[in-house]
Amino acid sequence: MTGLRWGILATGGIAGSFASDLRTAGIDLVAVGSRSQESADAFAARFDIAHAHPSYEALVTDPDVDIIYVSTPHPMHHENARLALENGKHVLVEKAFTLNRAEAEDLQRLGAERGLLVMEAMWTRYLPHMIRIREIIAAGTLGEIRAVTADHTQLLPSDPAHRLNALELGGGALLDLGIYPISFIWDILGAPTSIHSVGRLIETGADAEVATVMTHEGGAVSTSLSSSRAAGSNAATVIGTEARIEIDRVWYSPTTFRAVGPDGTVHEEYSSEIEGRGMQFQALAAERLVRDGILEGDILPIAESVAIMGTLDEIRAQIGVRYPSEGADRG
């Protein structure tokens, strides 16, 4: 442990999940910042946090805070993370990392200039079952990886005013849900060499369904499906020439998987046994990086988070989604 002192910026649902898992892991959570004192006080009381700040500015200038978890809606990630970096704080920024690649590049550049850790909170990558899957692949058990498929489909509120459907808040299936399978595909197969996307937009202009077919180095293929209007299997498969890995529902949370040979022989079965939701593992990884003086993570380097935002930009361009803050020319 580095003894890093954590602050949480914003007090929504994901912030509560993160705070709970920090407490489970015994990580030092010392401050929270909200847009109102009332909200900050309530959150602080709920999680026994010493400092409750009535503004984000007060949080980022708190001398007792070393690293800040940014959990605001997507369009605010860039501004809020920048504020923290400018005040000398490391940042863990909720996924999707930003609205677009241009914003992500700016945070990457600022973090490097200030000598601070900038990390995307793609918590799935740090879960024990994902660590084990990468070990199996690295050992060559699957042979040559030829295909990856994953979906993230949920039945979410259809109210046009809801954040998930509001284009000005970065609403839509892609940034909230699609980021999971897209990041997973990147993790296993690397950057796509071609991207083909289709989507269905709702009355607000936000995407309710998005499907992708991508090719990767060596000719491997991937498919992803995200939907905010229907719940699917939420499973994933990595297919190799010698074996495959079948990840059960819900693949992006602590779950079970099997490594299965072409004849159906099960080579390994894995079952996750952890405390909490599992968001503490990304925080522990961030602490390790800071302790070791490393600004580029090994599990998810900031350069990869930036490149993934570029992939999401291309998918949005193909399905016709532009966020209001981007203006006529997307960054």
Pairing of strands 90-94, 67-70: parallel
237: region left, alpha or beta (phi > 0 left; psi from -120 to 50 alpha) = beta
pLDDT score recorded for residue 174: 98
The pTM of this model reads 0.96
- pLDDT digit string, tens, across residues 52-61: 999 999 999 9
Q: What CA–CA distance (Å, rounded) separates 20 from 280?
A: 9
User: Any bridge partners for residue 238, and if so which?
Assistant: 148, 245
Rg of the Cα atoms in the chain: 20
- The set of residues, in sequence order, having a beta carbon less than 8 Å from that of 96 and lying 6+ positions away, is 74, 77, 170, 175, 176, 179, 309, 312
- What pLDDT score does 257 carry? 98
DSSP string covering 283-308? HHHHHHHHHTT-SS-SSS-HHHHHHH
Nearest to 283 by CA among 120, 147, 110, 42: 120
Burial call 220-232: b when 16+ CB within 10 Å, e when fewer: bbbbbbbbbbeee
312: its two tokens:
């999401």
Residue 231 backbone dihedrals phi, psi, to 5 degrees: -95, 125
Q: State the Cα–Cα distance between residues 285 and 288, nearest whole angstrom.
A: 5
Report helix, strand or coil for 31: strand
Measured between alpha carbons, how far is 292 from 295 in angstroms, rounded to an integer?
9
Closest by Cα among 73, 308, 35, 97 to 168: 73
pLDDT tens sequence across 152-194:
999 999 999 999 999 999 999 999 999 999 999 999 999 999 9
Cα angle for residues 219, 223, 225 (degrees, 5° grid): 165
Cα 58 from Cα 167, distance rounded (Å): 29
Burial (CB < 10 A; 0-12, 13-18, 19+), residue 138, is: exposed
By C-alpha distance, which of 237, 235, 232, 184 is closest to 209?
Answer: 232
Residues of the chain with pLDDT under 50: 1, 330-331
Cis ω for the linkage preceding 50 (within 30 of 0): no
Q: What is the pLDDT of residue 89?
A: 98
